[in-house]
Structure 1
Amino acid sequence: MDKQHPQQQWQQAVTAYAQAINRYVAQGQAHGWDDLEEPQAPATDHLLDAWQAALRAANHPASDELQRQAFRSAWPPAHLPLVPLLERHGQGISCVLLLDDGSLLARIGMPYEKGQVVRIDGNSVTPVIGIEHFGRCPRRRYFALANSEGVRVTDGWGGPQVARLPWPTGLEDLPKGYPFDPFDLPPTPTALIPFADGQRVLLVSAEGIFLMTAQGARRLLPCQAQIIEDLAEGTDPDDINLGLSMEHAAISPDGNLIALGQQDGRHLVLDGQLQPVAAVGPGSEYPHFAMFNQQGDQLLLNACHFYNGGTLGVRVVDLAGLDTDYYSDDPRTPLLQDGARVYAGVARDGEYIVGDAYGYLRAFGEDGKAHWQHFLGSTISAMDISADGRTLVAASHAGFISVIALDSGRPQWQIGDGEHGELRRWLFWKGWDRPLMW
């Protein structure tokens, strides 16, 4: 029987496995994978009770920062040892935002779940009352705050209200004279993105993608032209599907371009007057994600197939009139990243950081050159980055929120080849009475 303390067993197992995986990946990338055998994860199930007891002790109100740091050193963060607990406790976190004061907003639960919005400030987690969904404009100034009554836009977090927008009725841009039904309830936001003027909000939802204004909403997807074409071909209105799957959208920093899509069709780009600019054939089967780079002069477009995908990069100057098919070899739509099904992403100077279905954060340049990868575990569900590009926050379907100091050095227990150190990991687990810090 192993006479080591549980924390020593955990520490050695987690660190040894991370280093073995990192060697395995480095060898595979350098020399190929054919003759390599992936390291097996050590047995740690018998340590979970002791880990959980130590975690709760470190989060006791009487514990100080030194005790919490001591716990983290003795029980270094890891994902694989917790897999036996995730089916019962894990949950997705649909949105995270780093505020300029260093605090953090998060929506616990996926968009289609009731969920809860919280603010994390230092060691405290406080529910945000009266807000069910939120979003921020690409320039970080305006916030969209939603509940059943509509969407408010504020100038800064906690700042003055500058707009109030009603929910779409569901009848927007539908041909007159057909028996389409209005929404029974407001759409459930997958994303809320205010524009740079603070007067408009892009609503992304499974019920449709809409441009919201104080005067009403416009339906962007499914687009009016496609609906009219389907009706002209004799399709019964009851058979026209107005819902979306894998719905996604992004706004350029200046607000002059809207990239949007869903699983059935190509990537689409509209201008500020909602006129078509481009239709881009995806680099995999199903359009899944879009974002602009930090400068706003390149658009990233991801499509997926099962847990994998392909990500294209298109320079904004090449968008006007661009019309390509699936898997096009057009030099204006090069494949920048091959392999990731992207659920979330951020951009900093010259670099994209995306989160994939396998639990990795993957960074690459605007030229497609791979930079680094960093393992968090489970499917990455949400990300944000600080204005200075030095702090990254990533959330996953394991119920983790990880706050990472970029370019600060990599601890021995971290799987990945990026020089980044996690500062803190929060566990928002179902069935627990409160979130706990790791």
Structure 2
Amino acid sequence: MDKQHPQQQWQQAVTAYAQAINRYVAHGQAQGWDDLEEPQHPPTEHLLGAWQSALEAINRPGVDDAQRQAFRQAWPPAHLPLVPLLENHGQGIASLLLLDDGSLLARIGMPYEKGQVVRIGQQGVTPVIGIEHFGRCPQRRYFALANAEGVRVTDGWGGPQVARLHWPSGLEGLPKGYPFEPFDLPPTPTALVPFPDGQRVLLVSDQGIFLLAAEGATRLLPRQAQVLEALAEGTDPDDIALGLSMEHGAVSPDGRLIVLGEQSSRHLVLNEQLELIAEIGPGSEYPHFALFNTTGEQLIVNACHFYNGGTLGVRVADLPGLDTDYYSEDPRTPLLEDGARVYAGVAVADGYIVGDAYGYLRAFGEDGEVRWQHFLGSTISAMDISADGRTLVAASHAGFISVIALGSGRPQWQIGTGDHCEVRRWLFWKGWDKALLW
């Protein structure tokens, strides 16, 4: 029987494992992975009861910041020790934004779940009433706020309303005279992206991708040409699939370009007139994600296969007329990152940070230069970064929201190669009465 206090056992196990993994990765990257044996995590399941009791105690009223910091030193955050609890308690966090006042806006639960929007500030977690989904424009100014009644666009968080947009009926872009059925309910957003003019919103959903505007909705995907082609081939309208999987979309910082796609399409780029100007063959099997860089001069697109994937980079100047096939070796679409299945990402100065299906945050340059990796755990589901680029926030399917101070030094318990420190972690777990701060 180990006579050490559970807290000491936890601290030693988490720290020793992190340092062993970091040495293992450093050796593998420097000298190759042959004959390397991955370190195994020490047994910690017997410590979970004590960990949870200590976590609940530090979240009681009256606890100050110094006590919380001492708790994090004593019980350093980790993912693997919590795996036995995740099946019952873990949940995805669909959307996450870091507001300019330092507070967080999050949707707890995935888009297809009922979920709840909350605001996380110094005073704790507050439900946001009347909003079921949200998004922010690439310039950080306009917010899209959605509920069953429609989509409102506000100038700033809590600012004045500048547009009120209706949900699509579901018949947009479909040939008349055929027995297509309208939506019974509004489509559930996978993403809402207001344009920099504050007057339009890109709606990404598994029932279609639409452009919402004052004059009505326009279907962008599936494209009308696809539907007409299927009808011309004699396909019964009831058999034409209008639903999407792995649907994704992004708007350029100047609002002039839209990139979109789904698992059975190439990555498509539309101009201001919604004309198709580029079709980019993916770097893996299923197109999955897209993101513009901070200047709008480059675009990355990710496609996946199981838990892995490939991310291509494309200069915006090369887009007009670009038409490449799957796994193309066209020099205009180089592979910038090989390995990550990307669900979330942010653009930073001359590069990107993406979250992968293995729980890693991965940073690389616009030229593909590998910069660093940082382990959070579980599949990364949402990310954002502060306007000054110093604070990164990331959420996972484990129900974590992590606040990371970039470039502030790596603590001993952190798995990763970057010089970054997690300063707060929220646990939004199913079955718990409230979210707890670690």
> Same fold judged by TM-score > 0.5?
yes
Q: Write the mapping of 1:115-126 to structure 2, written as runs, cut at 5 A.
A: 115-126=115-126
Q: Percent identity?
A: 82
Letter in 1 for 2:73: S
- Distance in 2 (CA, whole Å) between partners of 1:170 and 1:234 is 22
Q: How does 1:40-51 map to 2 (within 5 A)?
A: 40-51=40-51
Match of 2:377 in 1: 377
Residue identity in the other structure for 2:59: N
> Is 1:320 aligned with 2:334?
no
Whole-angstrom distance in 1 between the partners of 2:420 and 2:358: 19
Distance 2:347 2:408 in 1: 18
Q: Distance in 2 between the 1:64 and 1:282 partners? A: 50
What is the distance in 2 between the residues matched to 1:379 and 1:219? 30
Residue 134 of structure 2 is matched in structure 1 by 134
Instruction: Report the equivalent of 1:225.
Output: 225
Amino acid at match of 1:34: D
Q: CA RMSD in A?
A: 0.5
Whole-angstrom distance in 2 between the partners of 1:38 and 1:201: 46
Q: Name the structure 2 match of 1:98.
A: 98
Q: Which residue is equivalent to 2:409?
A: 409
* Equivalent residue letter for 1:168: P
How many Å apart are 1:3 and its aligned residue? 1.1
Cα distance in 2 for partners of 1:56, 1:265 equals 47
Structure 1, gaps ≥5 residues long: none
Matches within 5 A, 1:297-376: 297-376=297-376
Post-superposition Cα deviations, 1:259-283, rounded to whole Å, max 9, x if no partner, equal: 0000001110000110011000000
User: Partner amino acid for 1:5?
Assistant: H
In the other structure, the counterpart of 1:210 is 210
1:155-170 to 2 correspondence within 5 Å? 155-170=155-170
Distance in 1 (alpha carbons) for counterparts of 2:160 and 2:154:
5
Runs of 4+, deviation exceeding 6 Å = none
Q: Deviations over 1:112-160 (max 9, x none)?
A: 0000000001141000000000000000000000000000000000000
Instruction: Tell me by how many angstroms 1:320 deviates.
Output: 0.4
Q: 2: distance between equivalents of 1:302 and 1:145?
A: 27
* Residue 214 of structure 1: how far off its partner (Å): 1.6
The whole-number CA distance in structure 1 between the counterparts of 2:423 and 2:272 is 40
Letter in 2 for 1:162: V
Alignment partners' CA distance in 1, 2:391 and 2:223: 38
**Aligned equivalents of 1:110, 1:9: Cα separation in 2:** 35
1:386 aligns with 2:389: no
Q: 1:28, 1:123 → 2: CA distance?
A: 44
Match in the other structure for 2:88: 88
1:62 Cα deviation from its structure 2 partner: 2.3
Q: Aligned equivalents of 1:421 and 1:62: distance in 2?
A: 25
Distance in 1, matches of 2:102 and 2:329, equals: 43
Q: Distance in 1 between matches of 2:256 and 2:406?
A: 31
Cα distance in 2, alignment partners of residues 59 and 390 from structure 1: 27
| Distance in 2, Cα, partners of 1:7 & 1:271 | 57
Q: Deviations over 1:82-120 (max 9, x none)?
A: 000000000000000000011110000000000000000
Q: Distance in 2 between matches of 1:28 and 1:360?
A: 17
Distance 1:390 1:289 in 2: 24
Report the Cα distance in structure 2 between the residues aligned to 1:351 and 1:233, rounded to whole angstroms.
Answer: 45
Q: Aligned with 1:39: secondary structure?
A: coil
- Secondary structure of the residue aligned to 2:392 is strand
Matched, 1:34 2:30: no
AA in 1 matched with 2:426 = W
State the TM-score, normalizing by the size of structure 1.
1.00
In structure 2, the residue matched to 1:5 is: 5
SS at match of 2:322: coil
Q: How far 1:51 moved relative to its partner? A: 0.2
Partner secondary structure for residue 66 of structure 1: helix
Distance 2:298 2:338 in 1: 18
1:54 and 1:273 map into 2 onto residues whose CA distance is 57
SS of corresponding position for 1:135? strand
Measure the CA separation in 2 of the matches of 1:285 and 1:425: 34
Corresponding position: 1:144 with 2:144: yes
Q: Secondary structure at the match of 1:168?
A: coil
1:22 maps to amino acid: N
Q: Give ranges in structure 2 of 5+ residues lacking alignment.
A: none
TM-score (norm 2): 1.00
Whole-Å separation in 2 of the counterparts to 1:65 and 1:327: 51
* Partner in structure 2 of residue 23 of structure 1: 23
- SS of equivalent residue, structure 2 residue 323: coil
CA shift, 1:350, in A, is 0.8
Shift of 1:175: 0.4
Alpha-carbon shift at residue 212 of structure 1 (Å): 0.3
Q: Provide the rounded CA distance (Å) in 2 between the counterparts of 1:66 and 1:332.
A: 52
Partner of 1:329, secondary structure, is coil
Which letter does structure 1 place at the counterpart of 2:386?
S
Mapped to 2, the partners of 1:213 and 1:351 lie a distance apart of 32
Distance, in Å, in 2 between the alignment partners of 1:66 and 1:389 is 26
How far did residue 258 of structure 1 move?
0.2
Q: Secondary structure at the match of 2:418?
A: coil
